[in-house]
């Protein structure tokens, strides 16, 4: 199976990389007052997610191993619109540390963004190998935002996640926003979209949500000031009987969310990477926890 990223051969033998130095360089690059809400963090988290969320547990193909989003057709899949900005943002880091693979770099960048924007520590292992165009995954593996709970389950069960993990992962929507020129949707999920928190869950329950009347795709707006948004898939976390209790727990208990998100996101960014390829967990310290 040419799509099977477990068959990716590495041209060179793995080299010594100072991953903390790579982490620090990414952390240093996140802030940019001219970009979006002032940080590249959210779009880097989305890059790590879309690079990993193509995994299919039944065939073993897809996942972060390969970094196949560098190539058409995967780069041009509708779900990946806008992620060229995230990839381009990491190019200078790749140039500075050429020995890191793109697939390690993209997942490490996701970890860095979550941690530096105030989220939990995320266990990360090195060892992903870069594939080539033959390893691109077919279109349609990532979730559609205008669908319901059945669709969400189909997509995430295929990756090997359960209902609790689906809810935990969805909390990443604390970060960033929708862009009309990328997905067609519009707006952020919470008032501080460059701070990782459980605000997404709190607002899901504490705000009243109504369908937005506009020319764009179907989305919800908060009644209070109409400045926030939810996708149909976000609303499913409240309307679905099995998702709701977990979402409620995270709305009330940020520590529980952080702990479960850390595990689920770590699982996500290692999906499909053969264990034999992976290093031991690499400690990646937040800037604030490093000696001055
Ligand atoms: Zn998202 N996501 N996502 N997501 N996502 C967007 C943005 C971001 C869905 C989805 O359709 C969309 C997860 C799950 C799901 C992030 C992280 C994670 C956008 C807006 C859409 C439409 C894109 C744009 O216009 O720029 C759906 C349907 C999901 C599941 C059902 C999971 C899981 C994530 C990580 C763990 C992040 C951080 C963003 C914000 C990106 C940015 O540029 O600000």
- Give me the pLDDT at residue 15, please: 61
Q: Count of domains in the chain?
A: 2
- Give me the pLDDT at residue 8, please: 66
Distance between Cα 232 and ligand 1 center (Å): 12
Distance between Cα 183 and ligand 1 center (Å): 9
Residues 94 and 22 in one domain: yes
**In this structure, are strands 229-230 and 220-222 parallel, antiparallel, or unpaired?**
antiparallel
Nearest CA to ligand 1 atom 44: 176
Which of 178, 182, 204 has most ligand 1 atoms within 8 Å of CB, for mutation? 178
The atom of ligand 1 lying closest to the CA of 45 is 38
- Ligand 1 site, CB within 6 A: 42-43, 45-46, 49, 82, 143, 145, 152, 169-170, 172-173, 175-179, 182-183, 185, 231, 233, 265
Residues 247 and 211 in one domain: yes
Residues 167 and 55 in one domain: no
The tokens of 114 are what?
A: 């979550």
Per-residue pLDDT of 220-231, as tens digits, reads 999 999 999 999
CA 127 to centroid of chain Cα atoms: 19
Cβ atoms of 200 and 42 within 8 Å: the answer is: no
The CA-to-CA distance between both ends of the chain, in Å, stands at 49
- Give me the pLDDT at residue 16, please: 84
d(CA 123, CA 269) in angstroms, rounded, equals: 10
Which residues lie below 8 Å from residue 73, measured CB to CB, with a gap of 6+? Answer: 136, 139
Residues 13 and 137 in one domain: yes
Residues 135 and 240 in one domain: no
Domain that holds residue 198: 149-258
Active site residues: 50, 189
Nearest CA to ligand 1 atom 24: 178
Residues 125 and 193 in one domain: no
Nearest CA to ligand 1 atom 9: 145
The tokens of 50 are what?
A: 């879309």
Q: How many CB atoms lie within 10 A of CB 216?
A: 12
The tokens of 180 are what?
A: 């009309």
Residues 112 and 236 in one domain: no
Per-residue pLDDT of 134-157, as tens digits, reads 999 999 999 999 999 999 999 999
Examine the pLDDT at 133 and tell me if it is beyond 90: yes
Q: How many CB atoms lie within 10 A of CB 270?
A: 21
Structure ipTM: 1.00
The atom of ligand 1 lying closest to the CA of 264 is 36
Question: Is 64 inside any structural domain?
Answer: yes
d(CA 261, CA 23) in angstroms, rounded, equals: 20
d(CA 122, CA 183) in angstroms, rounded, equals: 27
The atom of ligand 1 lying closest to the CA of 53 is 33
- Give me the pLDDT at residue 292, please: 79
d(CA 244, CA 150) in angstroms, rounded, equals: 14
Cβ atoms of 195 and 117 within 8 Å: the answer is: yes
- Give me the pLDDT at residue 291, please: 83
Residues 154 and 13 in one domain: no
Name the pLDDT band for 62 (thresholds 50, 70, 90). very high
| Beta pairing partners, 178 | 187
- Give me the pLDDT at residue 7, please: 66
- Give me the pLDDT at residue 6, please: 65
Nearest CA to ligand 1 atom 28: 145
d(CA 208, CA 80) in angstroms, rounded, equals: 30
Distance between Cα 43 and ligand 1 center (Å): 9
Per-residue pLDDT of 88-132, as tens digits, reads 999 999 999 999 999 999 999 999 999 999 999 999 999 999 999
Beta strands, E only, 167-208: 177-178, 187-188
Distance between Cα 141 and ligand 1 center (Å): 14
Question: Is 208 inside any structural domain?
Answer: yes
Residues 33 and 85 in one domain: yes
* CATH at 223: 1.10.420.10
Question: Is 94 inside any structural domain?
Answer: yes
* CATH at 122: 1.10.520.10
Per-residue pLDDT of 170-222, as tens digits, reads 999 999 999 999 999 999 999 999 999 999 999 999 999 999 999 999 999 99
Nearest CA to ligand 1 atom 30: 143
% of the chain beyond a pLDDT of 90? 94
Question: Is 158 inside any structural domain?
Answer: yes
Question: Is 130 inside any structural domain?
Answer: yes
Residues 194 and 277 in one domain: no
Q: In 3D, which of 247, 240, 197, 203 has the Cα closest to residue 222?
A: 203
Mean per-residue pLDDT of the chain: 96
Residues 29 and 132 in one domain: yes
Question: Is 292 inside any structural domain?
Answer: no
Distance between Cα 46 and ligand 1 center (Å): 6
The atom of ligand 1 lying closest to the CA of 43 is 43
Sign of CA dihedral 157, 247, 176, 121: negative
- Does residue 199 sit in helix, strand or coil? helix
Examine the pLDDT at 11 and tell me if it is beyond 60: no
The mean per-residue pLDDT over the stretch 278-292 comes to 95
Residues 230 and 192 in one domain: yes
Question: Is 211 inside any structural domain?
Answer: yes
% of the chain beyond a pLDDT of 70? 95
Examine the pLDDT at 12 and tell me if it is beyond 80: no
Question: Is 291 inside any structural domain?
Answer: no
Distance between Cα 171 and ligand 1 center (Å): 10
């Amino acid at each position: 199976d040419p799509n099977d990223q477990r068959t990716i051969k590495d041209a060179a033998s793995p080299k010594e990389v100072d991953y903390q130095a790579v982490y620090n360089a990414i952390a240093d690059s996140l802030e940019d007052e001219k970009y979006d809400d002032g940080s590249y963090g959210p779009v880097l988290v989305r890059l790590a997610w879309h690079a990993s969320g193509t995994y299919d547990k039944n065939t073993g193909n897809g996942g972060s191993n390969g970094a196949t989003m560098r190539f058409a057709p995967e780069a041009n899949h509708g779900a990946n619109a806008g992620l060229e900005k995230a990839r381009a943002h990491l190019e200078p880091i790749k140039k500075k540390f050429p020995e890191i693979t793109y697939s390690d770099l993209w997942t490490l960048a996701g970890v860095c963004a979550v941690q530096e924007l105030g989220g939990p520590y995320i266990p990360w292992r090195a060892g992903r190998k870069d594939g080539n165009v033959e390893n691109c995954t077919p279109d349609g593996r990532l979730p559609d935002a205008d669908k319901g709970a059945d669709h969400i389950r189909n997509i995430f069960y295929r990756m090997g996640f359960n209902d609790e993990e689906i809810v935990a992962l969805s909390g990443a929507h604390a970060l960033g926003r929708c862009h009309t020129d990328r997905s067609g949707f519009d707006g952020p999920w919470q008032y501080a979209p460059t701070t990782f928190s459980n605000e997404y869950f709190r607002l899901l329950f504490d705000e009243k949500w109504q369908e937005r009347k506009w020319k764009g795709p179907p989305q919800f707006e908060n009644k209070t000031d109409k400045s926030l948004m939810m996708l149909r898939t976000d609303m499913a976390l409240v309307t679905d009987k099995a998702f709701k209790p977990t979402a409620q727990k995270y709305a009330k208990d940020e520590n529980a969310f952080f702990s479960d998100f850390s595990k689920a996101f770590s699982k996500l960014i290692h999906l499909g990477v053969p264990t034999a390829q992976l290093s031991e967990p690499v400690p990646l310290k937040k800037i604030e926890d490093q000696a001055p």
